[in-house]
A and B are shown apart, each in its own frame.
Chain A
Amino acid sequence: MVLSQLRPALVLFLLLSLLTGIVYPLGMTALSGLILPDRAAGSLVYDRGRVIGSSLIGQDFASPRYFHGRPSATMGPDPRDSSKTVATPYNAAASLASNAGPTSKALLDRVTATTNVLKLENPEAMARGWRIPVELVMTSASGLDPDLSPEGALFQVLRVARARGLDEERIRHLVLTSIRQPLLGFLGEPHVNVLALNRALDRLAQ
């Protein structure tokens, strides 16, 4: 019985491997590259012929002149000692979440520290009594979240306006016009793509 089934098992395994493991992925790669080349290649964004990122992948912004994305838990190799890893926000070569549990003391300490940094970075917002939206102190699931909620972006308007010496209303207008609304009015959350927003900001300044 077993012997008579060996041939079907082996032949079917090899054929299905060929079909689903080689023909299917390579065929789809060729077809996608032909009809949707930009998207198949990762929705890369170019500036003067140079890749400056992907419209789907968040970047690390630290300067007060730019809107900052959400905290990222990604790690990367330590430049001083490659056998160790150090916090490397928005490392798109190795996605990672904090995986901190809800009662983790480390999470509470981290959130407290991030909150204090945000308070220092955004004195104008604090002076007006604005509360920090919770997403700005909570790491995303991918560590590469390209978006902010409208609240998360609007909270940073005063800081960006000050750092750029621009009128607050112009920046706020830019944020409001960058909001992508849910599909059909309910699917997904309103959000702002941080890289697109910051590029628009640079164009505004020119």
Chain B
Amino acid sequence: MTLSGWITIAVFFLCVVAITRPLGGFLKRVLEGERHGLARLLGPLERGTYRLAGIDPNREQSWSHYALAVILFKIFCFIAVYVLLRLQGVLPFNPSGLGAVAPDLAYNTAVSFLTNTNWQSYGGETTLSPLSQMLALTVQNFVSAAAGIAIAAAVMRGFVRRSASTIGNFWVDLLRVTLYVLLPGCVVLTLFFVLEGVPQTLATAASALTLEGGHQSIALGPVASQEAIKMLGTNGGGYFNVNSAHPFENPNALTNFVQMLCIFALGAGLTNMFGRMIGQEKQGWAIFSAMAALFLIGAGVLYWSEAHANPLFASLGLDGTLGNMEGKETRFGIAASALFATVTTDASCGAVNAMHESFLPLGGMVPLINMMLGEVIFGGVGSGLYGFLLFALIAVFMAGLMVGRTPEYLGKKIEAREIKMTMLAVLCLPLVMLGFTALAVVLPAGLSALSASGPHGFSEALYAYTSAAANNGSAFAGLTANSFWNVTLGIGMMIGRFFVIIPALAIAGSMAAKKTAAPTPGTFPTDNGLFIALVAGVIVIVGGLTFLPALALGPIVEHLAMLHGTTY
């Protein structure tokens, strides 16, 4: 571990703190339809779209209609991506002549991108044409992120409103986020990435005669434009097989830093937007602090783990000061790789700049735990906030049980219906993660896809389903997904998305209908250190109790085996 490594982590965190407030203010203005500079520029486009689509922007939806609109939109997304991938062979703009994508892979990819997971069972440069990358995948990168933020805004309205029957209009939220937040942000980011060396071209390859006289074919494409939304929308689906480890996706330490900042930007901004909506920014900062504490612990542990060389190589007499460099890039080194891995799994992004599978066992356990906690450490854009609010409800519920009072959050009584919905969402994730892992490690179709044996093979399976259900998309990438995996991972991704979205919207609906009680001396405050510690504790305990046995079978036993000198 080096001083500059710790400085990188500290400076990164300070930058996240610095952008949270301005972004929160902007997001609130956009989503609440208030005045802002971009509306003057793009307002005509917004109003024209409403006319064309027959949307009345002033007409709001109940929670069930909002949820229905989300699902209907997602069905269109699924059909479009599936058809585009299946017809790839006959569609234009396919210079390398790539064929149709197989049915199970097309299904997996469509689900993966519409749920903002961006799990990739394929290598981009060898499977997808530029048309598929742009029209099928880039579109989903935008709209799945916009839908996440829209739903977060709707959930926030539920907590803020009193005796109300509606929580916003999905179509309006979706369009505004895309037009005013994601697109302008991506235009700026794309230009920055190109300036730093990320290609943006319609050519698919360049042919080079190397210094030693060999031939090198260099894959190219419109990379920068996809890179921008991939990070800002916490999508994580790379243009190339190795994602942000590829020098064309992530050419230097500065692009790496900006990419990490983009992953956290909107998730952090939404905590502040929530505080502003309530009229108490402190409530937003309380949420931010709980997330930040969990983030910093993960980053520290991961950095510490990877800064060590693999003890199994001790007898070879190598100079191990650089740390565990297997599956890492020289320009990033250990600190920026460890930080990136923490950020990408805290935030449901899933982009990688180092191979998580090659981390030392305890290092690889950090991303795994981050995802198991439900992607609420800043989280995916939107999904992080509404996921966190579910844990906040459990925290106040437990505090209420301890003192024997009806639990309240932000002046609203938390009752049986809300807690039932919360538990439905919180329990669905482990069911998918652990249930499918158990299935995969006993069925031959599951086992045949694993690249590792011993405890690491188990971790590989556990990581895959955890990543899918948490809508992260990163992998222990030695896994070669076959049709068994493509189908089951697809189911996991859908359950992980929709069994959180629908309960969260239902809670928003019932919260909106409630009256707000004024705080009394007996009210449990939710903007101080006690609440922060309680909610962080709830997140860790719920995750810890559920997953400790599985972690013991995977990374923990592998760590002990490694210290003992065992290989598999």
Contacts and interface: CB of A to CB of B under 8 A. Distances in A.
Interface of A: 1-2, 5-13, 15-17, 19-22, 24-26, 28-29, 31-33, 35-36, 39-44, 50-63, 66, 70, 90-105, 107-108, 111-112, 115, 131-135, 137-149, 151-152, 182-183, 185-189, 191, 195, 198-199, 202
Nearest to A90: B216
Interface of B: 3-4, 7-8, 11, 49, 52-55, 65, 68-69, 72-73, 76-77, 80, 123, 125-126, 134-136, 138-139, 141-143, 171, 174-175, 178, 182-183, 186-187, 190-191, 194-203, 205-212, 214, 216-220, 222, 224-226, 229, 240-242, 245-248, 251-254, 256-257, 309-310, 312-313, 316-333, 336-337, 352-355, 357-361, 364, 451-452, 454-456, 459-460, 476-478, 558, 561-562, 566-568
Given A95-B240, A131-B319, A103 B254 contact: no
B254 A145 contact: no
A187 B254 contact: yes
A187 B567 contact: no
Nearest to B245: A141
Given A40-B199, A42-B248, A102 B360 contact: yes
28 contacts: A12-B49, A12-B174, A12-B175, A16-B175, A20-B178, A25-B222, A28-B187, A32-B190, A35-B191, A52-B209, A53-B211, A56-B197, A57-B247, A91-B217, A93-B205, A95-B246, A98-B326, A102-B312, A131-B317, A134-B321, A134-B325, A141-B337, A142-B246, A142-B247, A145-B330, A151-B322, A152-B330, A189-B330
B326 A107 contact: yes
Contact of A39 (B195, B252, B451): B195
A103 B561 contact: yes
A198 B212 CA distance: 10
A102 to B, nearest CB: 5
Contact of B76 (A10, A55, A115, A187): A10
Contacts of A187: 4, 8, 11, 253-254, 257, 336
Contact of A41 (B201, B247, B353, B561): B201
A43 B360 CA distance: 34
B452 A53 contact: no
B143 A20 contact: yes
Contacts of A32: 190-191, 194, 200-201, 224
A192 to B, nearest CB: 9
Given A31-B191, A54-B208, A115 B452 contact: no
A101 B456 contact: yes
B134 A25 contact: yes
B56 to A, nearest CB: 10
Contact of B326 (A53, A58, A100, A183): A100
A61 B74 CA distance: 49
Given A12-B73, A36-B194, 12 more contacts: A9-B72, A31-B191, A44-B208, A56-B248, A93-B218, A95-B241, A103-B361, A103-B456, A134-B320, A142-B246, A185-B4, A187-B4
B80 A13 contact: yes
Q: Which of B53, B195, B360, B454 has the most CB of A within 10 A?
A: B53
A13 B178 contact: no
A57 B208 CA distance: 11
A58 to B, nearest CB: 8
A51 B566 CA distance: 47
Nearest to A94: B126
A120 B214 CA distance: 24
Contacts of A17: 80, 135, 139
Contacts of B455: 103
A183 B254 contact: yes
Contact of B327 (A7, A60, A61, A139): A139
Contact of A188 (B325, B331, B476): B331
Contacts of A134: 309, 313, 318-323, 325
Given A13-B77, A32-B194, A43-B197, A5 B68 contact: yes
B253 A188 contact: yes
Contact of B329 (A15, A20, A131, A145): A145
A29 B248 contact: no
Contact of B72 (A6, A44, A141, A148): A6
B139 A51 contact: no
A143 B143 contact: no
Contacts of A29: 200-202, 222, 225
A20 B142 contact: yes
Contacts of A91: 216-217
